Structure 1
Amino acid sequence: MTLSLAQLEQVRLILRGGSVVDWYRLRFDSLDDVRGFLALQGGDLDDPADLARLEHLRGEAARYLTDEHGYKVPPELLSCDAVDLFLFASERRGRRRDRFFACLLLKVMHIVHHIEARELAYRLPLSQAALFDLLVDKVDVFAARLQADGFPLVRYTGGQKSTTSLLTKLLVKKEHHAAAIHDRVRFRFVVRRTFDLVELLARMTRELFPFNYVAPAQTVNHLVNFTAFVESQPAYRAWAADLQLELGEEDQALRPLNEFSGPSYAVINFVVDVPLRIPDAALSASDASLGRVVFALAEFQIVDEVTDDQNEVGENRHDRYRARQLGIVRERLERGKRGARDDA
């Protein structure tokens, strides 16, 4: 599979744990590209309510940019169809100046949508378990499609973590609050070869979740050197000057290895706020202004088969990882134990 420049940028965003708010342009070539991207967001361009939602988000973004920062947004970007902003931001319409302001609008729309979707989630008569079920179903369907297409997916597992696992994770963290857990639901994909990891990420951003809701600064990547990957292939090397950031930026952006992992444990791990379209039956008229989409945080772990096998040897084994975690938990729980013994 040969990636487009847009796909290359999206894969890179995941691998380096970057933020789309730092981007200065998009790369949508056509309205069909935009339609596919908005479908990943849970939107439908044939639905008048979803089009109205886009208009609402643009209005909120324009007000913020004007009132708080004094920007003078070009009138044509406020009067065009809101969906056309993606083409202006990609320089498929208008001038470079229009690209700049279209990007400003879309960045703020991205944040406003996220905030309002959170508010919608609080109002819905749906339990957290029901939302997790929607999330698991969505990823299960994607994994089944990979297998049906003959993609080299060796193993796939996914679902909500056990209460015991969550308890241990909270007790071992210094920020021991449930809000600090980004991986209540985890999905694990094992592919045949290291090279397949890049194709899997590209398919994820095309079929499973929109790249703009990958959580910044949450990526662990020990398996794909993006700079080497680009420089090893002439087609990608020719695009290097067109990338949002110079090659080599990844080396300064990676999170350290989990302190409880073995010394040679290797994986790609990242977190996504996955958009979920809520069934109309669960929405009330008072919620209409907040849209039809909520978000569910999920952790994705991807690895090739050889590395996965190596991760289960020696100090990398999960039982050793678990023992190291539990040892720290006991240390924290038992502080002051000596004094308690003396009192007895």
Structure 2
Amino acid sequence: MLTYLLDVGDLADARFVVSPLNETALSLFHLNHVHGTAQHLTAWRREADACSDRYDRELVDALVSPSGKQIPDFLTPITAPSAGRPSFEVHLADLAATTPEAAHAELAELTEDGPPSPALARLLALDDPAPVIAEALAAYYDAAIAPVWPAVHRILESDVTHRGRELAIGGPARLFESLSPRVEWTRTGELSVDLACTKSSGRFSSGGRGLILMPSVFISRVTIAHDPRRTAPHIGYPARGSATLAESSPPVADDALRRLIGTAKADLLAALGEPAAVVDLARALGVSPSAISQSLKVLGANGIVESSRYGRRVLYRRTALGDALLHSRARM
């Protein structure tokens, strides 16, 4: 059990981090180590294997320990609470700037007291391995992650919107409860995480560094990878709706609803299973953003969808009336 001791300032500084580099690093667990709870990644893994000639597969495989339980901490940089949406390039620069001493120490831990693989041995022999790893991960991202990043990003942003609503409705207790049964919050400021595997356990002060929450489609349980003595309190957790990554066909509404409000608007309503932006909906349905905007305007004017701003993005969701229209036939 790991327990963070938080104060009011930490909760005020709490931020959700959506990071393409973090997702890139976490995806490495699934290339050779197939997890039973990751069926939604089957198609992605197949595509990542098919394009392995476009990146250094041997090197990226070496970044995961033989047990499949560990990657170096520096692959997932902890972001300052004020920067919840770091770009891939910004985080990659942070990774490349890892000191040789830190990189060598964390890479050596991957051996798990056994002999290093040939690729890992070559990394350990480098004077400064971090820039080489950053270059390899950039190629891996372009080949294996960039094609699915729009869908992954949609899932992560939808999750953040949902958690924000949980916080607004029920406060920190409801937010942390929504993450996992393994996360427990007390009014005395203790945030406890029950982990089957962690580098540290015990009670740790936040040190006034805030709190970072990281949703991911590439993890199946709550996790804390970094040493809590050296980094801000943080929790990685499975993003709500991750299973939708496996859905390749556009959502289609019931014929009765299509006849009632039109095919385009009905299918758009079906696509709003999670809050989404215009560009995400356009991509999912294979139509232009302007066509999506026109349909949303009509649906919104009739109280069928509503919108809210999150940062620079405007996300749309079904109202209670929209849900009733979409699901009324299923109850008949």
Q: Quick check: TM above 0.5?
A: no
TM-score (norm 1): 0.26
Give the helix-richer structure, 1 or 2.
Answer: 1
Higher RCO (Cα < 8 Å, 6 or more apart): 1
TM-score (norm 2): 0.27
